[in-house]
């Protein structure tokens, strides 16, 4: 059996495939692939990996040491659909068959099923199907008792024959898809300690946005673990743009809750006023942060402040466009993404807001809210919240800087 596995592997490399960029015009595609390569380089550089790159049509080939680690890092880069560790060889059938067999031998034994997925780029010689059948026969003849199953095989081996040579691989590690980070401009994400807003942040990153996070710290009105949990969400999200530092701006919203309490604002209006305040503060920071939109994890009907009527009242306080990536998601769908991206925390601690009333208003009346806010001098409070800020920088899953009392 060993004889049939002796093919010439020239090199082991990591192949990344990108998706939607194909839909773009040539100059835009070139720009986006440039950004994708820049992001890959930065992410690998952040882990101390030096690599060499080639970009044949539709693929990025990455040569360097530690292909397993390279594959894991690149599978977290936005724009990438999947990643494979490939053995590069000649386009000769003998070499391709031998390497395919060498991958199959440790994985397959009698009674198991397999499939060969072959793709050829050019038009001479065997076509893709014939190539697959030839290589399949080689595996079949050398490992006794196998079955071919093209639908749900126990083992798959992939062959690509391209103008530069042959690639053989057995695994496709899924990437996040989307567009390269940095191709769509910057957004300011209202990031909380909860489950939704980290997912919203990840989804806009996935569509190519650079992010700045904004967290409003309600001080003694917030649960004991809220600030630490929000900072941890920020830290975890930085793993998705490795090599690029991400800022979290922390603003103090405790005076807002104190003012609502002093002025005996009906508790049922607190949630709507709180959410309006966040958008008010965010809108004031947009220009300074270079952001083009504000992002929230709001979701239709999830809580009382997110009825359709209240979402309108809340939006009225923003001067910036609002993006709500989760507006139609079921909570289960959001949780599934949160688990996959690593932001879900099963034991989040004390995150309870002390200001939430038993019966929040589900249909606040804008005129009434405006009047209450005027009595509270809300714009003065919002301007005040923007004057003393704390900045927390996260890079590659680590908090790197945390400096207080910075004036914007
Ligand atoms: P999440 O919605 O992220 O799970 P949550 O349930 O605590 O957090 P909601 O009351 O649903 O928050 O608030 C809706 C949105 O308002 C959040 O998704 C987030 O974008 C924003 N938000 C809530 N609390 C804060 C905060 N303390 N700082 C910044 N943004 C916040
Ligand atoms: Mg929520």
Q: What is the pTM of this model?
A: 0.93
Residue 14: per-residue pLDDT: 98
122 vs 17: which has the higher pLDDT: 17
* H/E run at residue 187: strand 186-190
pLDDT of residue 390: 95
- As given in the structure block, the two tokens for residue 242 are 């490795």
Pairing of strands 389-395, 398-406: antiparallel
* Helix/strand/coil for 399: strand
- Give kind and range of the element (H or E) at residue 389: strand 389-395
Could you tell me where the DSSP H helices lie in 238-390?
254-262, 270-289, 308-315, 331-341, 366-375, 378-385
* Residue 153 belongs to domain with CATH number: 3.30.2130.30
What is the number of the ligand closest to the CA of 251? 1
Distance, CA 185 to ligand 2 centroid (Å)? 25
For residues 129 and 208, membership in a common domain is answered with no
Structural domain contains residue 2 = no
**Residue to substitute in 187, 188, 196 for testing ligand 1 pocket (most ligand atoms within 8 angstroms of CB):** 196
Q: Are 219 and 254 in contact (CB under 8 A)?
A: yes
Enumerate residues lining ligand 1, CB below 6 A.
190-192, 194-197, 214-216, 278, 296-298, 303
The radius of gyration of the chain from alpha carbons, rounded to an integer in Å, stands at 27
Within a domain: 312: yes
Q: Is the pLDDT of residue 407 over 60?
A: no
Would you state the pLDDT for residue 136? 98
- Residue-wise pLDDT for 174-201, tens only, equals 999 999 999 999 999 999 999 999 999 9
- 194 shares its domain with 162: no
Chain mean pLDDT for the chain: 94
Tally of domains in the chain: 2
Same-domain pairing of 128 and 27: yes
Pocket test for ligand 1, best of 189, 190, 192, 271 (most atoms within 8 A of CB): 192
pLDDT surpassing 90 at residue 20: no
**What atom of ligand 1 comes closest to residue 199's alpha carbon?**
3
Which range (22-31, 137-146, 390-399) has the least confidence? Answer: 22-31
Range with the poorest average pLDDT among 14-23, 87-96, 168-177:
14-23
The answer to whether residues 383 and 317 belong to one domain is yes
Quick: pLDDT tens for 337-348.
Answer: 999 999 999 999
Ligand 1 centroid vs 233 CA: distance in angstroms? 12
pLDDT digits (tens, 9 = 90+) for 355-382: 999 999 999 999 999 999 999 999 999 9
* Cα 208 to averaged position of ligand 1 atoms, centre (Å): 22
pLDDT(301) > 70:
yes
Same domain (yes/no): 287, 191: yes
Mean of pLDDT values over 324-347: 97
Question: Tokens 């807002």 identify what position?
Answer: 256
Question: What was the pLDDT predicted at 1?
Answer: 42
- Residue 286 CA to residue 398 CA, distance in Å, equals 25
**Quick one: pLDDT at residue 3?**
60
227 with 137, same domain: the answer is no
Q: Which atom from ligand 1 is nearest to the alpha carbon of 214? A: 29
123 or 245: which leads in pLDDT: 245
CA–CA dist 305, 274 (Å, integer): 9
pLDDT tens-digit map of 196-252 = 999 999 999 999 999 999 999 999 999 999 999 999 999 999 999 999 999 999 999
Are residue 265 and residue 211 in the same domain, yes or no?
yes
CA of 10 to the centre of ligand 2 (A): 52
**Domain assignment of residue 386, yes or no:** yes
Is it the case that residue 405 has pLDDT exceeding 60? Answer: no
Q: Write down the residue that tokens 């060498």 correspond to.
A: 102
Average pLDDT over residues 78-107: 96
Q: Measured between alpha carbons, how far is 120 from 302 in angstroms, rounded to an integer?
A: 50
The pLDDT score that the predictor gives to residue 8 is 78
280 and 188 in contact (C-beta within 8 Å)? Answer: no
Length of the chain: 408
Last residue within a domain, chosen from 174, 202, 221: 174
CA of 296 to the centre of ligand 1 (A): 7
Question: Residue 348: which domain range?
Answer: 186-406
CATH number of domain containing 320: 3.40.50.620
Q: Which pLDDT score, from 0 to 100, does residue 6 have?
A: 77
Residue 32 pLDDT exceeds 70: yes
Q: Helix (H, G, I), strand (E, B), or coil: what is residue 350?
A: coil
Cβ contacts of 75 within 8 Å, gap of 6 or more: 82, 83, 173, 174, 175
Is position 218 within any domain? Answer: yes
Residue of minimum CA distance from atom 9 in ligand 1: 298
**Contacts of residue 248, Cβ cutoff 8 Å, sequence gap at least 6:** 191, 212, 213, 214, 215, 230, 231, 234, 391, 392, 393, 394
Q: Whose CA is nearest to atom 18 of ligand 1?
A: 297
Residue 2: the pLDDT is: 43
Q: What is the pLDDT of residue 41?
A: 97
What confidence score (pLDDT) does residue 21 get?
79
């Amino acid at each position: 059996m060993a004889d049939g596995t002796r093919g010439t592997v020239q090199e082991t490399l990591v192949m990344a495939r990108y998706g939607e960029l194909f839909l773009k015009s040539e100059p835009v595609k070139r720009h986006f692939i440039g950004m994708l390569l820049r992001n890959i380089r930065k992410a690998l550089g952040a882990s101390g990996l030096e690599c060499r790159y080639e970009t044949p049509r539709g693929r990025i080939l990455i040569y360097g040491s530690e292909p397993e680690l390279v594959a894991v890092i690149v599978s977290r880069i936005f724009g990438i659909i999947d990643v494979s560790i490939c053995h590069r060889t000649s386009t000769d059938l003998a070499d391709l068959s031998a390497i395919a067999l060498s991958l199959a031998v440790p994985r397959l034994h009698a009674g198991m099923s397999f499939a060969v997925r072959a793709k050829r780029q050019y038009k001479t010689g065997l076509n893709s199907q014939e190539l697959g059948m030839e290589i399949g026969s080689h595996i079949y003849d050398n490992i006794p008792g196998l079955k071919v199953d093209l639908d749900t095989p126990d083992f798959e081996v992939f062959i690509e024959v391209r103008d530069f040579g042959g690639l053989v691989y057995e695994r496709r590690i899924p990437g996040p898809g989307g567009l390269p980070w940095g191709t769509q401009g910057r957004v300011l994400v209202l990031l909380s300690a909860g489950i939704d807003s980290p997912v919203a942040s990840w989804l806009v990153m996935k569509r190519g946005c650079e992010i700045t996070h904004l967290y409003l710290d309600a001080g003694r009105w917030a649960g004991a673990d809220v600030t630490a949990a929000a900072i941890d969400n920020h830290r975890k999200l930085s793993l998705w743009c490795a090599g690029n530092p991400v800022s979290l701006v922390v603003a103090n919203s405790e005076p807002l809750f104190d003012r609502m309490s002093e002025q005996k604002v009906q508790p049922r209006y607190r949630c709507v006023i709180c959410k309006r305040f966040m958008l008010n503060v965010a809108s004031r920071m947009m220009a300074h942060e270079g952001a083009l939109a504000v992002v929230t994890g709001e979701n239709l009907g999830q809580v009382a402040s997110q009825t359709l009527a209240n979402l309108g009242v809340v939006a009225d306080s923003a001067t910036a466009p609002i993006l709500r990536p989760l507006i139609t998601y079921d909570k289960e769908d959001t949780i599934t993404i949160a688990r996959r991206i690593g932001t879900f925390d099963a034991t989040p601690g004390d995150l309870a807001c002390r200001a939430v009333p038993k019966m929040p208003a589900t249909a606040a009346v804008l005129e009434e809210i405006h009047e209450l806010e005027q009595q509270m001098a809300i714009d003065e409070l919002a301007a005040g919240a923007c004057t003393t800020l704390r900045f927390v920088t996260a890079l590659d899953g680590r908090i790197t800087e945390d400096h207080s009392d910075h004036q914007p």
